[in-house]
Amino acid sequence: MLVLTDRCPAKINLTLRVGAARDDGYHELESVVAWLNFADQIRITQRDDTAVLLHCDDPRVPTDDGNLVMRVVRRLQPRRLSDFGIDIHLDKRIPPGTGLGGGSSNAATALRMLNLLWQTRLGRDEQLDLAASLGSDIPLFLHGPLTVIRGRGEDVEEFDADWDVWVVLVLPQLHCETRAVYAAFDELPPPPPRPLVPAITAARNARGLMPLLFNDLEEAALRVVPALADVTDRARSALGRDTRLTGSGSGLFHLYDDRSEAEQRAVLARERCLGCDVITTRLALDDE
């Protein structure tokens, strides 16, 4: 029986600069994004009939057309040359609503896998267009582990850095709705001037990176989910005061050069941030 598996890495936004709202409701953004060694997995198995079914081990994740993976399926189905059915099994590790891009990463991986499996023959540009039409964070997962994204997320530039960096994630059981956070951003004064992208990509390690990192949605996320303030204080007391939010939240992260420091900080975070998942991982490198 045919079985295909692939990984869907999580991402963090090292920086997230947000501009004014555009006429189409989206915001111009500029963000340095890094994949993590923390990932979901997709397993695809062939069926005897022509049905396509999504299964997920996390009951919080929809398995109908509310899931981006099924939206990829719907777009590819009419174009497939091989019309055999499949079961798609999603093994979730990346909690939804935490700004780690889990759903977007699932969609990008499903797109790559199904394009091969069903011989839908989408070229590179068609894959990127389809990805962008389904979500702002999907195209970056069709590129490499380090990117700068611009526009509403569809303009993706890869870059290299040999960052040997440990990451501690504090993931509260709080769901930040992206649309609501951007709407709250519009009600706030414009953010201050921020470090420029070349300064960030030129940083050599976690110690150099941390003071340069920022997220223009932090204040807005706190407005939308006030309970995030207490978790942020606790996470900062454990991880370091420059702990950052990823995406529109609710996940928080800090970077370390030293593995044992990361592990010690994670122990502290587990004590102080009750009810949060605390994960120690690394920035993904190109050859992983």
Which residues contact ligand C5P by CB under 6 A? Answer: 25-27, 29, 135-137, 152-153, 178-179, 182
Cα-trace Rg, the chain = 19
Task: Identify the active-site residue in 40, 92, 137, 216.
Answer: 137
> Would you say 162 and 145 are in contact if contact means Cβ atoms under 8 Å apart?
no
* Smallest separation (angstroms) from ligand C5P to the CB of 37: 23
Nearer to ligand C5P by Cβ, of 18 and 169: the residue is 18
* Smallest separation (angstroms) from ligand C5P to the CB of 2: 32
* Smallest separation (angstroms) from ligand C5P to the CB of 103: 9
> Which residues are within 8 A (CB) of 124 and not within 5 positions of it... i.e. 6 or more apart?
none
Q: Which helix (H) or strand (E) holds 206?
A: helix 206-209
Nearer to ligand C5P by Cβ, of 179 and 204: the residue is 179
Q: Please name the amino acid found at residue 130.
A: L
Q: Which helix (H) or strand (E) holds 71?
A: helix 68-76
Nearer to ligand C5P by Cβ, of 152 and 270: the residue is 152
* Smallest separation (angstroms) from ligand C5P to the CB of 198: 22
> Would you say 117 and 44 are in contact if contact means Cβ atoms under 8 Å apart?
yes
Spell 4-36 as b/e; 16+ CB within 10 A means b: eeebbbbbbbbbbbbeeeeeeeebebbbbbbbb
Nearer to ligand C5P by Cβ, of 209 and 249: the residue is 249
Q: How far is CA 264 from CA 252, 271, 278, 280, in A?
A: 17, 11, 12, 10
Q: How far apart are CA 174 and CA 152, in angstroms?
A: 25
* Smallest separation (angstroms) from ligand C5P to the CB of 87: 26
* Smallest separation (angstroms) from ligand C5P to the CB of 31: 9
Q: How far apart are CA 220 and CA 189, in angstroms?
A: 10
Nearer to ligand C5P by Cβ, of 118 and 182: the residue is 182
Nearer to ligand C5P by Cβ, of 86 and 103: the residue is 103
3-state secondary structure 157-185: EECCCCCCCEEEEEECCCCCCHHHHHHHH
> Would you say 212 and 199 are in contact if contact means Cβ atoms under 8 Å apart?
yes
Task: Identify the active-site residue in 6, 11, 40, 233.
Answer: 11
Our answer to whether residue 137 is catalytic in this structure is: yes
Active site residues: 11, 137
